[in-house]
C-alpha cells in the first residue's frame, strides 16, 4: 500500500466526513494546515501516518494520564475483549469501577455510567430538574460542559442574561432556560440568587475551568457558590470531566475541600476508552430509572471492556501515588519553561498536570479577561513546535496535559524546543 501524507488523508477525510474530522478542534482550523493523522502512540509520544514522531502534550485531551499504550491497560483491554465486547447486561467490572469511583470522590454514594462527558452532564442536569421540580439552570461563560442543547449557550451583558444559542439547531426557547453568569463575580452571583434562587434547579460549573484557557477560581468564590446553592435548595454540579482523578484522587472537590451535590466524570475513568459518569448521594440518585421517574439509558453504558480499562487505570494511579508524582512533574515543567518565556509574549498558568500557555499578564479567572488576540500569535508558534517534533493542542485556548509517561528528559526537550521555536517566530 502506498503511504499517504497527512494532507492526502485530510483530503480523503473531507470527502466523507464534515470538515474531515469527528470533533471540530482536530481540524486545525485555528492554526491552519493539515491535521496529523495518528497511527499509534507509545508512552509520551505519538507517531503519524507519515512516520513522524511527536512528543505529545495532548494525551487524547486528558484521558491518557498514564501515557499512550500503557502495557497493563492494554493487556486488560485485550483479555476482557477476548471474553466479549458488549453484553447489554450487567457485568462485574461496572460494579468494581463504581466502587472505586464512589470510594474516591467526596460525598459520592452512587454513580451511573454513560459513554461520554456530554451524556454525563446532560443526564446530571435532567436529574437535577427531576429531583427539584425546577426548570432553570445556571452555567458560567468560559465553562464547557459538552454539546447538549441546553449547555450550548453564550454569555450576554447585564446582571444575568438568558442564554442565547451558540450553535445552530438549538431552539432559543430551550436555551432561555439556561442563565449565564461570568466567573469570579460574587456580586452578580449573589444578585441572581436573591432574584431567582427558588426557581433554579442546578448550577453547573467546572471547578477548574479548563476548556477556555485555564481559569483558576478562588476557593472563596466556590465557597460562596456552595453556600448560595445550599440556602436556595439548588443543586451544585461539579463538572469534573477534566479535573476528576487528575488534579487529585477526589478531583477538584478534594483539592478545594468542597463537596457538590452531583459530579460528572469522563476522560481518566475510561482509561482511553469512551466512558462518562455522573453521581451523587443515594437519595438523589434514587430519582434515576429504574428506581425513579428520571429516565436515562444507554446500550453501551457500563461496557465491560471500557469498565475494565478504567478500573485498571485507577488502580495504577493509586499504586503509583500518581497525584504526588504529577504535581512534581508539573512543578518541574513550570521551572523549566518559565525562564524560557521571560522575554516572550507568553506565560504559564498551571495546576497539577494541567498547563496553559497564555498571553503574558495576570492569569485570567473569567472568560471575558482572556486575550482574544492570542490566537494569531499562537499560530506560528504552534507550527514551529510541530516542526521540532512537539505536539500541543492546536488552539491558544486549550490546555496541555502531562502524564506519568512524561520524563524529566521530555520536559527538557519541550523547554529546548520552545526556546528554539520562539526564536524562529516574529
Active-site annotation, residues = 144, 239, 267
Strand duo 136-140 + 200-205: pairing? parallel
Please, are residues 365 and 215 in contact by the beta-carbon 8 Å criterion? yes
- Cβ burial, residue 76 (10 Å; 0-12/13-18/19+): buried
Q: Is the peptide bond prior to 290 cis by the omega test (within 30 degrees of 0)?
A: yes
**What angle, 0 to 180 degrees and rounded to 10, lies between the N-to-C axes of helices 322-341 and 304-319?**
80
Upper half-sphere CA count for residue 141 (Cβ side, 13 Å): 25
Q: Where are the beta strands (DSSP E) in 74-219?
A: 110-114, 136-140, 153-154, 161-162, 164-165, 178-181, 200-205
Q: Which residues of 253-283 are buried (b: 16+ CB within 10 A; e: fewer)?
A: bbbbebbbbbbbbbbbbbbbbbbbbbbbeee
The burial class, CB within 10 Å (0-12 / 13-18 / 19+), for 421 is: buried
Cell of 128: 437535577
Distances (CA, A) of 336 to 227, 274, 390, 391: 40, 34, 16, 18
> Residue written as cell 441572581?
192
194: Cα separation from own chain's centroid: 31
Could you tell me if 389 and 344 are in contact, meaning their C-beta atoms sit under 8 angstroms apart? Answer: no
272/72 Cα distance (integer angstroms): 12
Which position has the grid cell 494525551? 59
CA-to-CA distance for 407 and 410, rounded, in angstroms? 5
**144/211 Cα distance (integer angstroms):** 6
Alpha helices by DSSP H, listed for 354-407, are: 374-387
The span from the CA of 369 to the CA of 160, in Å, is 17
Q: How far is CA 204 from the centre of its chain?
A: 14
Amino acid at each position: 500500500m502506498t503511504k499517504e501524507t497527512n494532507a492526502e488523508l485530510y483530503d480523503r477525510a473531507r470527502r466523507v466526513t464534515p470538515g474531515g474530522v469527528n470533533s471540530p478542534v482536530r481540524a486545525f482550523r485555528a492554526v491552519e494546515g493539515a491535521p496529523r493523522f495518528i497511527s499509534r502512540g507509545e508512552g509520551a509520544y505519538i507517531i503519524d501516518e507519515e512516520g513522524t514522531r511527536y512528543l505529545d502534550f495532548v494525551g487524547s485531551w486528558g484521558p491518557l494520564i498514564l501515557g499512550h499504550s500503557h502495557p497493563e491497560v492494554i493487556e486488560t483491554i485485550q483479555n476482557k475483549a477476548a471474553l466479549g465486547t458488549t453484553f447489554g447486561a450487567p457485568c462485574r467490572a461496572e460494579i468494581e469501577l463504581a466502587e472505586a469511583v464512589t470510594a474516591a470522590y467526596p460525598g459520592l454514594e452512587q454513580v451511573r455510567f454513560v459513554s461520554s462527558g456530554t451524556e454525563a452532564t446532560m443526564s446530571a442536569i435532567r436529574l437535577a430538574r427531576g429531583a427539584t421540580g425546577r426548570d432553570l439552570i445556571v452555567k458560567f461563560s468560559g465553562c464547557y460542559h459538552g454539546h447538549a442543547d441546553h449547555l450550548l449557550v453564550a454569555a450576554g451583558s447585564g446582571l444575568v442574561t438568558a442564554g442565547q444559542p451558540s450553535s445552530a439547531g438549538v431552539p432559543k426557547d430551550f436555551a432561555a432556560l439556561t442563565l449565564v453568569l461570568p466567573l469570579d463575580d460574587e456580586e452578580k452571583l449573589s444578585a441572581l440568587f436573591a432574584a431567582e434562587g427558588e426557581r433554579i434547579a442546578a448550577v453547573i460549573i467546572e471547578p477548574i475551568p479548563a476548556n477556555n484557557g485555564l481559569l483558576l477560581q478562588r476557593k472563596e468564590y466556590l465557597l460562596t457558590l456552595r453556600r448560595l446553592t445550599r440556602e436556595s435548595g439548588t443543586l451544585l454540579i461539579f463538572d469534573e470531566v477534566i479535573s476528576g482523578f487528575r488534579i487529585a484522587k477526589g478531583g477538584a472537590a478534594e483539592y478545594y475541600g468542597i463537596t457538590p451535590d452531583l459530579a460528572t466524570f469522563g476522560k481518566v475513568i475510561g482509561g482511553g476508552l469512551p466512558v462518562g459518569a455522573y453521581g451523587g448521594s443515594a437519595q438523589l440518585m434514587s430519582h434515576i430509572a429504574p428506581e425513579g421517574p428520571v429516565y436515562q439509558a444507554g446500550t453501551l453504558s457500563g461496557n465491560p471492556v471500557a469498565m475494565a480499562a478504567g478500573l485498571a487505570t485507577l488502580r495504577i494511579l493509586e499504586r503509583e501515588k500518581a497525584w504526588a508524582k504529577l504535581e512534581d512533574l508539573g512543578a518541574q515543567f513550570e521551572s523549566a519553561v518559565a525562564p524560557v518565556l521571560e522575554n516572550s509574549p507568553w506565560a504559564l498558568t498551571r495546576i497539577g498536570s494541567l498547563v496553559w500557555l497564555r498571553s503574558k499578564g495576570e492569569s485570567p479567572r473569567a472568560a471575558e479577561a482572556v486575550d482574544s488576540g492570542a490566537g494569531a500569535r499562537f499560530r506560528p508558534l504552534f507550527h514551529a513546535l510541530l516542526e521540532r517534533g512537539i505536539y500541543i493542542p492546536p488552539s491558544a485556548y486549550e490546555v496541555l496535559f502531562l502524564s506519568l509517561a512524561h520524563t524529566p528528559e521530555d520536559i527538557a526537550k519541550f523547554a529546548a524546543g520552545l526556546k528554539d521555536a520562539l526564536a524562529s517566530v516574529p
